[in-house]
């Protein structure tokens, strides 16, 4: 009992550290990547390749004064950044990085991650409402309608994968795909011939759920100043940023486990945490690449894509998979 | 724990039972605090925040009672869907300060206190007179066991839920349809 408790506490500490380090250095990677795509140098002054830029940014954010605008709802304003961070950290607890490296393997791992991810919209809502700023309110209404509508195709696609694997356990789903890339869920099988489409839907939804460009309507800076975090400075802003990058890492982890074989090697050699990290960082690099390549969509285009295209396709895929599972 | 064991005296705080009890009390406190905030908040959006705290407390209780699946569904559906929908409706309907307005209803004031007191007294009296027997764990509350139960011994519940959801969808379509034609 006490060992389990210690296990969980250590795991949560490691999850926070992992999320924080990732957030700091993904910002650096994002800025460098953006700069490369836009043919400019990016942050390259502090340390080799600008690698000391994230600690400098962190110190700057932490030493700034926390300002609460007059007329803001103080409690909600303070709670929102914390709410953005906590679900992201909680989700790390059940993600298996390799067969041995998992804090608390649950038989409902997928469900738990979705349950906590659905709380993320609440943080944006409270932030927008609490800051008493019309741009923030508009941005949070947009961001929440976006994340609610993209949660549906994402969940349906996840259910398809769960049905094929017969388990909600992330570890079991990974182990199901062990032994070479032809076992991975991303490739079509007899039971689910539309798996590549599922993967694309899931990937689009994870882009939209993390409010990334081309779906970053919640912080459209050309229309809404900075969106829902317009009024946030210092570490409140920092927490929103960390939450966003932690969510990106979780999205990449979930995609890796559900579709790309988790920690398995593509050729069946040396499965382990290194393959997992390689896969998630490749996915994150794709996230960054997409963000700086595509222009922002409109809010109608965004909602139409979800309700008129992604949801029907994913529902059809679910029905087809259910039927074929009965046949084969 | 022995299923037929009856706790006669309060266990020490640092025993397994004591800590379990403490965790239970913390969850109760969270649920009750959330409920009180939801009832007493002047701003609607804070009431929603209280409701969320309350739901999270209830989810924790489900987890505590060995039903992780129900706990996660509570989070996903009540916190992630219902509360967000309500908050969304409030934001669309009342963008400005939405404080309590208008005269209080007939149940506010002494009548409200009396009825609340009666209900509380009734519940306490009922709890005190019941002899609680503890049963052994039925199953582990895993997805598999719940699924099997839903499709075999409790299939009626499952069918009824489907009908309720179907009616809800048809109702939504009807409302949306009449709204469109106006």
- Of A46 and A309, the structure prediction assigns the larger pLDDT to A309
- Flag whether residue A152 sits within 8 Å of chain B, measured between CB atoms: no
Q: Do B143 and A140 touch (CB under 8 A)?
A: no
Nearest-Cα residue of chain A relative to residue B76: A115
**Average pLDDT of the residues in A129-145:** 81
Q: What is the count of residue pairs from A and B with beta carbons less than 8 Å apart?
A: 79
- Candidates B49, B84, B142; nearest CB to A148: B84
A108: closest CA of chain B, how far (Å): 7
Q: What is the pLDDT of residue B167?
A: 94
Dihedral sign (CA A156, A158, A164, A166): negative
Q: What is the pLDDT of residue B58?
A: 92
Q: What is the pLDDT of residue B101?
A: 60
Measured between beta carbons, the chain A residues lying within 8 angstroms of B79 are: 115, 118-119, 122
Q: In percent, how much of chain B has pLDDT > 90?
A: 13
Q: What is the pLDDT of residue B104?
A: 66
Find the DSSP H helices in B41-151: 44-64, 68-73, 84-93, 110-129, 143-151
What are the pLDDT digits (tens) for B72-131? 888 888 888 888 888 877 777 665 555 556 666 766 778 888 888 999 999 999 988 888
Full DSSP string of B19-56: HHHHHHHHHHHHHHHHHHHHHH-SSHHHHHHHHHHHHH
Nearest-Cα residue of chain A relative to residue B95: A137
Q: What is the pLDDT of residue A218?
A: 67
Find the DSSP H helices in A166-295: 170-176, 195-209, 221-224, 234-259, 273-293
Give the range among A172-186, A281-295, B110-124 with minimum mean pLDDT: A172-186
In this prediction, the answer to ipTM > 0.90 reads no
Q: In percent, how much of chain A has pLDDT > 70?
A: 97
Measured between beta carbons, the chain B residues lying within 8 angstroms of A126 are: 45, 49
pLDDT band per the 50, 70, 90 thresholds, residue B2: very low
Q: How far is CA B179 from CA A148, A289, B170, in A?
A: 22, 42, 14
- Candidates B83, B84, B91; nearest CB to A137: B91
Cβ–Cβ contacts within 10 Å for residue A234, how many? 15
Separation CA A12–CA A86 (nearest Å):
11
What are the pLDDT digits (tens) for A16-75? 888 888 888 888 888 888 888 888 887 878 778 878 888 888 888 888 888 787 777 788
């Amino acid at each position: 009992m006490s060992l389990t408790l210690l296990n969980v506490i250590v795991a949560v500490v490691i999850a926070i550290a992992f999320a924080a380090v990732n957030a700091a250095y993904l910002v650096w990677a994002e800025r460098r990547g953006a700069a490369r795509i836009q043919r400019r140098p990016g942050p390259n002054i502090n340390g080799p390749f600008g690698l000391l830029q994230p600690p400098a940014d962190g110190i700057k954010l932490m030493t700034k004064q926390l300002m609460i605008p007059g007329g803001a709802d103080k409690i909600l304003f303070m709670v929102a950044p914390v709410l953005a961070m906590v679900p992201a950290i909680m989700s790390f607890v059940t993600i298996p990085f390799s067969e041995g490296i998992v804090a608390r393997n649950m038989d409902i791992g997928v469900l738990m991650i979705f349950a906590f991810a659905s709380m993320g919209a609440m943080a944006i809502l409270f932030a927008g409402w609490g800051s008493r700023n019309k741009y923030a309110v508009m941005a949070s209404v947009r961001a929440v309608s976006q994340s609610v509508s993209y949660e549906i195709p994402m969940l349906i696609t996840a259910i398809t994968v769960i049905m094929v694997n017969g388990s909600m356990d992330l570890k079991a789903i990974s182990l199901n795909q062990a032994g070479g890339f032809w076992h991975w869920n991303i490739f079509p099988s007899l039971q689910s011939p539309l798996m590549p489409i599922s993967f694309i839907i899931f990937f689009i939804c994870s882009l939209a759920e993390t409010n990334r460009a081309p779906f970053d309507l919640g912080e459209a800076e050309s229309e809404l100043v900075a969106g829902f975090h317009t009024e946030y400075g210092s570490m409140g802003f920092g927490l929103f940023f960390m939450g966003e990058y932690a969510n990106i890492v979780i999205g990449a982890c979930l995609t890796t486990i559900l579709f790309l074989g988790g920690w398995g090697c593509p050729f069946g050699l040396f499965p382990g945490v290194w393959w997992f990290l390689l896969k998630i960082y490749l996915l994150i690099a794709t996230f960054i690449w997409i963000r700086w390549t595509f222009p922002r969509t409109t809010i109608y285009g965004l909602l139409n894509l979800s309700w008129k295209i992604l949801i029907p396709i994913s529902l059809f895929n679910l029905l087809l998979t259910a039927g074929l599972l009965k046949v084969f | 724990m022995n299923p037929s064991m009856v706790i006669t005296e309060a266990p020490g705080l640092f025993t397994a039972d004591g800590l379990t009890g403490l965790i239970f009390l913390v969850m109760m406190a969270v649920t009750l605090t959330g409920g009180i905030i939801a009832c007493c908040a002047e701003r609607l959006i804070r009431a929603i925040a209280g409701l969320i705290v309350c739901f999270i407390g209830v989810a924790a209780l489900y987890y505590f009672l060995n039903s992780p699946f129900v706990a996660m569904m509570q989070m996903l559906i009540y916190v992630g869907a219902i509360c967000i929908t309500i908050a969304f409706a409030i934001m669309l309907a009342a963008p400005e300060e939405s404080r309590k307005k208008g005269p209080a209803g007939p149940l506010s004031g002494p009548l409200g206190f009396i009825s609340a007191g009666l209900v509380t007294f009734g519940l306490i009296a009922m709890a005190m007179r019941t002899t609680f027997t503890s049963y052994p764990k039925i199953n582990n509350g895993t997805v598999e066991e719940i699924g099997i139960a839903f499709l075999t011994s409790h299939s009626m519940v499952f069918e009824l839920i489907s009908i309720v959801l179907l009616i809800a969808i048809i109702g939504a379509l009807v409302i949306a349809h009449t709204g469109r034609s106006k």
